[in-house]
Structure 1
Amino acid sequence: MASLSRKSRNIIRSLTIWFQRQPSKVKAFLCISAALLAMVLIRVLIHNHDNLFVAAELIHAVGILVLIRKLASEKSCSGLSLKSQELTALFLAVRLYCSFVMEYDIHTLLDTATLATTCWVIYMIRYNLRSTYLSELDNFSNYLVVIPCALLALFVHPGTRHYIVNRILWAFCVYLEAVSVLPQLRVMQNTKVVEPFTAHYVFAFGVARFLSCLHWIYQVIDSRGLLLVALGRGPWPALVLLSEIVQTFILADFCYYYVKSVIEGKSVMRLPTGVV
């Protein structure tokens, strides 16, 4: 059994080395092919595509639990972005409000649990572990994303029959979710070294965004475009899909280097310049 495991690791390592030696265009082609293959497999294996969105929220919640373990075991919040957690709490709070007044379902329960744990993480960073918080590296201004998202939501929002304020808030949380990870990526860009728990959390967030993006794509395909009509007229339906795609691509580079680091058996993840 140990011999089989060793052979598997050697094969994976050989494939990794071969992949690294390929030109950039070949790497891009292989990554896109792998993503398309994953999309096809998920579509074949998972018949109810609503489960993808539930899975995305569950994986996000698991990522938060990883952060809680880091804070509890290491007694340090080094490498974490407080601003990213605050943006996450903000879009979750707005989405939770919209869920209560517009469509109460299982997503409401999942968002409640995720918001509660995110608020706990924020409390720990702000107060209990403040001495380990690297505020000088967490230098991304939240106003750079909150204000544009609010302005965009004011002009581009759903055309449903709900109150206008609720529709604007719904659009705001969709746009803000798409860019909420940017402060965390800035922290990792500044440090170049990503601790294991932080890397696990960001990777979980990336996987959650990928599944959520697939959920929307498959919903559009299965409804033969009727979902876009149900979301309203104008640019709003396109921006919903674009927001999901943006989230996925923002984290694509990081997820690649995370997988590469895991395959190589590295305990600490190091990012090349310009990755995030």
Structure 2
Amino acid sequence: MRAPKRPIHTVWTWARRQPSKVQAFLAVVSGMAALVLLRFIVHDHDNLFVAAEAVHSIGISVLIYKLMKEKTCAGLSLKTQELTAMFLAVRLYCSVVMEYDIHTLLDLATLVTTLWVIYMIRFNLKSSYMEDKDNFAIYYVVVPCALLALFIHPSTSHHLLNRISWAFCVYLEAVSVLPQLRVMQNTKIVEPFTAHYVFALGVARFLSCAHWVLQVLDTRGHLLVALGYGLWPSMVLISEIVQTFILADFCYYYIKSVFGGQLVLRLPSGVV
């Protein structure tokens, strides 16, 4: 006798057979449903931001395990790690001078591990680094983020430099994963540990975005006023949404690969 199919597998098989537009609609509905679920399950929505940083740390831990076990950094983007270290360092500075809390400790731990990954790629495992595939010019994102932060930043009572720095790390975080996506698009094949790491980033981005959206809903928009006036409040939300959607496509193929029982993720053209 054939074993009965699990409901989740049945739904997933049905969704895979739908046209791309229907799949996109289902993805949006699923995201909204997840937001509603989180709103009722997580009473203190600030915990979502802590969870996002924790998941990011788990993703970095997966990278460290890969580097230590396989002794290779093939498939990893050094530039994404450098951008990550950059926005973490700026955010850590802002956290220390503006609001010292649990986020400060989490950012410090993530920054230290990210710097260790950079050291391993640059020195210990340099021979396996795919420099020709890691060809995304980081000034394409650093310069626009800096200029955007210069003109659109919080209007709080903090020092101007701190407010610009805060905006810069928000904008840079939103696009820091682009070099890693470029590497994966260039290679078309993503080994498991790298895929787990990028998926962890996607989950972290979603939790962070959910934190902001639910906070705005709970305060009936008053949070946007607390962040300041002008374009800055809207840019915070846009940055959170952008970084979520940047990784949404990859997460779809990752989940598809997991349900298909594939150990190696193969990306079709046009994902990035």
TM-score (norm 2): 0.97
Name the structure 1 match of 2:241. 245
Q: Write the deviation string for residues 60-87 of structure 1: whole angstroms up to 9, x where unpaired.
A: 0000000000000000000000000000
Is contact 1:159-1:233 (8 Å) kept? yes
Aligned position for 2:64:
68
Give the corresponding residue for 1:193.
189
1:249-264 correspondence runs (5 A):
249-264=245-260
Q: Deviations over 1:40-70 (max 9, x none)?
A: 1111111100000000000000000000000
2:21 maps to what in 1? Answer: 25
Question: Equivalent of 1:219, from 208, 215, 218?
Answer: 215
The CA deviation at 1:33 is 1.4
Map 1:66-145 to 2 at 5 A.
66-145=62-141
Match of 2:227 in 1: 231
The whole-number CA distance in structure 1 between the counterparts of 2:112 and 2:39 is: 32
For 2:135, what is the secondary structure of its paired residue? coil
3-state SS of 2:246 partner: helix
Q: Paired residue for 1:54?
A: 50
Aligned residues: 272
Matched letter for residue 53 of structure 2: E
Stretch of structure 1 that moved more, 104-113 or 21-30:
21-30
**C-alpha separation between the residues in 2 aligned to 1:30 and 1:229?**
33
Partner of 1:173: 169
Please state how far the C-alpha of 1:109 moved relative to its aligned partner.
0.3
After TM superposition, list the pairs within 5 Å mapping 1:140-159 onto structure 2.
140-159=136-155
1:152 counterpart SS class: helix
**Is the 1:203–1:254 Cα contact (8 Å) retained in structure 2?**
yes
Q: SS of the counterpart of 2:240?
A: helix
Q: 1:269 aligns with which of 252, 262, 265?
A: 265
1:216-257 CA distance string (max 9 Å, x none): 011111111111111111000000000000000000000000
Cα distance in 1 for partners of 2:260, 2:83 equals: 33
Q: Is the 8 A contact 1:49 1:218 kept in 2?
A: yes
- Residue 26 of structure 1 deviates from its aligned partner by 1.6
Which letter does structure 2 place at the counterpart of 1:144? Answer: Y
In the aligned structure 2, how far is the partner of 1:8 from the partner of 1:55? 33
Q: Distance in 2 between matches of 1:264 and 1:250?
A: 23
CA drift at 1:12: 4.3
* Distance apart, 1:18 and its partner CA: 2.4
What letter matches 1:264 in structure 2? G
CA distance in 2, matches of 1:238, 1:13: 38
Identity of aligned residues (%): 70
Q: Which moved more, 1:221-230 or 1:84-93?
A: 221-230
Among candidates 25, 33, 38, match of residue 34 of structure 2 = 38
Question: Larger deviation: 81-90 or 36-45?
Answer: 36-45
Which stretches in structure 1 are left out of the alignment for 5+ residues?
A: none
* Distance in 2 (alpha carbons) for counterparts of 1:230 and 1:64: 33
- Give the superposition deviation at 1:8: 5.1
Instruction: Read off the aligned partner of 1:155 and give its amino acid letter.
Output: F
Compute the displacement of 1:20 (Å). 2.1
Runs of 4+ with >3 A deviation: 6-9, 11-17
Is residue 13–residue 264 contact of structure 1 (8 Å, CA) maintained in 2? Answer: no
Residue type of the alignment partner of 2:102: I
Q: TM (normalized to structure 1)? A: 0.96
Q: Secondary structure at the match of 1:63?
A: helix
What amino acid does structure 2 have at the position aligned with 1:39?
Answer: L
Shift of 1:181: 0.2
Q: C-alpha offsets along residues 92-127 of structure 1, whole Å, 9 cap, x if unaligned? A: 000000000000000000000000000000000000
